[in-house]
Amino acid sequence: MRSCEAFKNAIEIIKDLGIPNPEKIAQSYPHNLSGGMKQRIVIAIALACDPILLIADEATSNLDVTIQAQILDLLRDLKTTTISSILLITHDLGVVAQTCDRVGVMYAGELCEVADVKDLFTNPKHPYTKALLNSVPKFAQTGKLQTIAGIVPNLVTPPLGCRFHPRCERVMQICKNKKPDNIDTGNNHQVACHLHIN
């Protein structure tokens, strides 16, 4: 049996997220909703317990550009009005550039670089971050798209040392044997790479 207070709270949250007809939507099945509506409902579910951190894992995947923009606007609004922090997990560097304040770049389950978003895009330090940014198609792209050579390692038996070393163009012997420490290179920018260790 549905609690009247919980149902009223759900209606309020759905309404606050700008969803029309919240009473009807609260009683609808997922197959009755569009992709963007489903994303909003999942966000509403996450907000129901008044969290201080919202983790949004691929919150805009499989959405068309217009709906994606609406979801990103909603997340920005939530950050300023409702919730103190949002952890956005995504492969979409365009979303990162538009939405994030700080970025953590991961490769094969390990953090390799952390920086303010503008600093990361203008001054990437880890070879993986540089390769990742270079592989993004450019508006005036000519010729072949750049790719990252090799394949992602097997995480059951990951490579020793830096996990990116089998694909890195600047690999050194130490990279193959020793995992690099995460160091601060200034400007609140950290990188885990032997190229930056003195």
Give me the DSSP letters along 91-112.
S-HHHHHHH-SEEEEEETTEEE
* pLDDT score at 190: 97
Residues 82 and 64 in one domain: yes
Cβ atoms 68, 60 nearer than 8 A: yes
Q: Where are the beta strands (DSSP E) in 63-181?
A: 85-89, 102-107, 110-116
Cβ-based neighbours of 180, under 8 Å, separated by 6 or more? 161, 162, 192, 193, 194, 197
Tokens for 72, please give them. Answer: 């990103």
What is the residue whose two structure tokens read 């993004």?
Answer: 136
Residues 150 and 84 in one domain: no
Residues 107 and 188 in one domain: yes
Residues 95 and 106 in one domain: no
Residues 92 and 106 in one domain: no
In tens digits, the chain (198 residues) has pLDDT values of 357 888 888 888 888 877 888 888 888 888 998 888 888 888 888 888 888 898 989 888 877 888 888 888 888 888 888 888 889 999 999 889 988 999 999 999 999 999 999 999 999 999 999 999 998 888 787 788 888 999 999 999 999 999 999 999 999 999 999 999 999 999 999 999 999 876
* pLDDT score at 198: 63
Pick from 58, 84, 99: which residue ends a domain?
99
Residue 192 structural domain? 102-196
Contacts 24+ apart (CB under 8 A), 133-142: 133/93, 136/93
Residue 93, domain CATH: 3.40.50.300
Pick from 75, 99, 123: which residue ends a domain?
99
Residues 43 and 83 in one domain: yes
* pLDDT score at 2: 53
Residues 169 and 111 in one domain: yes
Residues 90 and 109 in one domain: no
Residues 117 and 79 in one domain: no
Residues 177 and 189 in one domain: yes
Using CB atoms within 10 A of its CB, is residue 198 exposed (0-12), middle (13-18) or buried (19+)?
exposed
Pick from 99, 118, 148: which residue ends a domain?
99
Q: How many CA atoms lie within 13 A of 45 on its CB side?
A: 10
The structure's pTM equals 0.82
The total of structural domains in the chain comes to 2
Residues 61 and 118 in one domain: no
Residues 94 and 121 in one domain: no
